[in-house]
């Protein structure tokens, strides 16, 4: 729905328009943009299992089994999604979604699909917190 304001603009109408826009923004699901060479994929936080840096690309594995090859570094991708607290970087080349951790071992994380990742000692406490939150 588009709302137009006639001139002269009335404060009450402007306030209603701003409230309407804020309401729409608060209900919007935040999308994560993953740019491949030929395509752009939009996903939500629960869609991503993990991402691994391979050479000059990051391979993002999605919950439905698809992979998306993004021309960036893991550090750059993490900077774009770090506002989602379920994501963490157990190493500089890996990003995991804590929602899909199956279990923790000694300095490793095992994801729900069985894939294992190294876990830096500085990330152990946060990984335990996420595991407790999503697997309570």
Instruction: Kindly report, residue by residue over 12-55, the tens digit of the pLDDT.
Output: 888 888 888 888 877 877 899 999 888 999 999 999 999 999 99
Give the angle subtended at the CA of 83 by the CAs of 82 and 85, to the nearest 5°.
80
Q: Which residues contact 115 (CB under 8 A, 6 or more apart)?
A: 50, 61
* Superfamily per CATH, domain 31-134: LytTr DNA-binding domain (2.40.50.1020)
Token pair in block for residue 114: 């069985």
Residue 13: the pLDDT is 82
CA separation for the pair 88, 71 (Å, rounded): 20
Residue 97: the pLDDT is 97
Domain ranges for the chain:
1-30, 31-134
Instruction: Kindly report, residue by residue over 81-130, the tens digit of the pLDDT.
Output: 989 999 999 999 999 999 999 999 999 999 999 999 999 999 999 999 99
Residue 1: the pLDDT is 62
Nearest to 68 by CA among 96, 40, 100, 110: 40
């Amino acid at each position: 729905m588009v709302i137009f304001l006639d001139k002269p603009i009335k404060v009450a109408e402007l306030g209603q328009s701003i409230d309407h826009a804020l309401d729409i923004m608060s209900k919007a699901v935040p999308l994560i943009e993953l740019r491949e060479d030929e395509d752009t994929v939009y996903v939500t936080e629960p869609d991503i299992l993990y991402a691994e840096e391979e050479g000059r690309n990051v391979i993002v594995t999605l919950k439905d089994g698809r992979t998306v090859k993004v021309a960036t570094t893991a550090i750059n991708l993490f900077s774009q999604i770090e506002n989602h607290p379920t994501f963490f970087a157990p190493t500089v080349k890996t990003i995991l979604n804590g929602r899909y951790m199956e279990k923790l071992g000694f300095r490793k994380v095992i994801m729900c699909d069985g894939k294992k990742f190294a876990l830096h000692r500085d990330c152990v406490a946060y990984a335990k917190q996420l595991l407790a939150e999503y697997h309570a």
